[in-house]
Amino acid sequence: MDHASQLIQERSAPPATLVIFGASGDLTRRKLLPAVESLARHERLPDQFALVGVARTPMTNEQFAESALGGRALASKRQLQNGVRYVAGGYDDPQTYKRLVETLDELDAQRGTSGNRLFYLSTPAGAFEPVINGLAGVGLNQPREGSFSRLVIEKPYGRDLVTARELDSVVHSAFDEHQVFRIDHYLGKDTVQNVLALRFANSIFQPIWDRSWVDHVQITVAETLGVGSRGGFYEDAGAMRDIVQNHVLQVLALALMEPPASFEAEGLRNEKVKLLQAIRLPTDRDIAEAAVRGQYTRGGTREELMAGYREEAGVDPLSRTETYAAMRLNVDNWRWAGVPFYVRTGKRLPARLTEVALQFQRPPHLPIPTDQLTGLDADALILRIQPNEGISLRFGAKVPGHSFRVRTATMEFSYDQTFVEESPEAYERLLLDALIGDASLFIRSDEVQQCWRIVDPIIENWKKDNSPIPTYEAASWGPTDADRLIGRNGRKWRNSA
């Protein structure tokens, strides 16, 4: 067997049936079905694979197959043909699950799917409990001997620590923790995983990855778009729940955690949990100085005037929901004690950007006269997760010429220019991992609870605060309070338009 064939075999799914609840929804159409098609096209799915959609919307097998395969690559159509089914019914209707059992048994016999089932909850969070109870009611939570039964759950996983624990209670009443795959699509991005590669595959970075060398760290998740058609959802979520509790804290944990003993799932997740446990919770007295919120107002240009958040469809005209959140976090462990971590996210900012920036200490003594330093910034290592995926190293260098002048230069690594391999979509990678049973990039129960532990006090404090919510113009970098947050110690945000 050649090396390419061996790699395909190593990362290919076993015989299985993927069951998508919420099969008529937007996430299924935009992300999950294209991910299945791409896995089939790249020979990651066996011939003994089947796809079952479950939703309230009436639809025949043929209609769902057309929505799943219509317009897809011919190779994918051939592989998935005759292996697509649809079960229509309410999530709280026992008959739905009886029909599902019949469908799965039929596919086991016809497709050879071996009793392996991956149940994907692509539904609103309110449907999680009835679906889990429905699966348990017909025994689909318990795999046959030698087979697997796994559950993939989309966010939001609760809306605070209390409801996350309540959902855990429902989940664990039917499924063991090793069967549960809580998904955060950010962790499926190659460039997020590259944080691990940069840290643990290179000895040169490890000695400087601590408080002795790092002055502070900035993590930014910036979006240029507003809430669009998601106003109703966003009103109940806000930036802290929608982005910080999951995406931002997951990236922070990967960037700051200790080296794991191995890259096995439990080794990685144990270190992430330890890091999250070490984050110091701000007291009510500290929150005003450690956390900032904001809401975008009308802004932009005359040619492209953008509506304010309160003008968006589905948004309360007197809304106090934050579309921007920034925090200063402290990690109480040996590696990071005393180093501030600044995280921020917002909608309607000037650039779409996700990055982790480590800014290093300035030299203890500069023998070069200040008049020979031309805009010399502190050294920094910037991990760009999106867009323009790559890594930048910022340092001082001599300017060409007869005089000795020093200014900031940058060394660049670009994913696109370095690698010719195609980067899989996040959902494609995560679906394959769930089918294989690799939980490394999924979130464990205690991780979820630690993330809520960090953001809950801030959300609760903001809820009790009746003062006007700070605002910022659309297409600006957020409220002025955010500049004051980082500027108290002479630091500033890495802003670029």
Strands 84-88 and 49-55: parallel
CA 384-388-394 angle, to 5 degrees, is 50
- 196 annotated binding-site participant: no
Q: In what order do the strands lie in the sheet with 340-346?
A: 373-374, 406-414, 390-398, 380-386, 353-360, 214-222, 340-346, 324-330, 291-297, 471-473
Is 172 part of the annotated catalytic residue set?
no
- 28 annotated binding-site participant: yes
Catalytic residue among 216, 247, 365, 402: 247
- 242 annotated binding-site participant: yes
- How far is Cα 463 from Cα 429, in angstroms, rounded to an integer? 37
- 274 annotated binding-site participant: no
Largest CA distance in the chain: 84
- 473 annotated binding-site participant: no
Buried residues in 250-281 as b, exposed as e (16+ CB within 10 A): bbbbbbbbeebeeeebeebbbbbbebbebbee
78: its two tokens? 């051939």
DSSP assigned state of 246: I
- How far is Cα 407 from Cα 373, in angstroms, rounded to an integer? 6
C-alpha 244: how far from chain center: 10
- 31 annotated binding-site participant: no
- 27 annotated binding-site participant: yes
- 25 annotated binding-site participant: yes
- 98 annotated binding-site participant: no
Q: Is 397 helix (H, G, I), strand (E, B) or coil?
A: strand
- How far is Cα 440 from Cα 181, in angstroms, rounded to an integer? 10
- How far is Cα 39 from Cα 32, in angstroms, rounded to an integer? 11
- 346 annotated binding-site participant: no
- 347 annotated binding-site participant: yes
Distances (CA, A) of 8 to 2, 269, 427: 10, 26, 18
Amino acid letter, residue 453: R
- How far is Cα 236 from Cα 321, in angstroms, rounded to an integer? 8
- 185 annotated binding-site participant: yes
Annotated binding site for NADP(+): 22-29, 56, 155
Annotated binding site: 22-29, 56, 155, 185, 189, 223, 242, 347
Q: Which residues are catalytic?
A: 247
Annotated binding site for substrate: 185, 189, 223, 242, 347
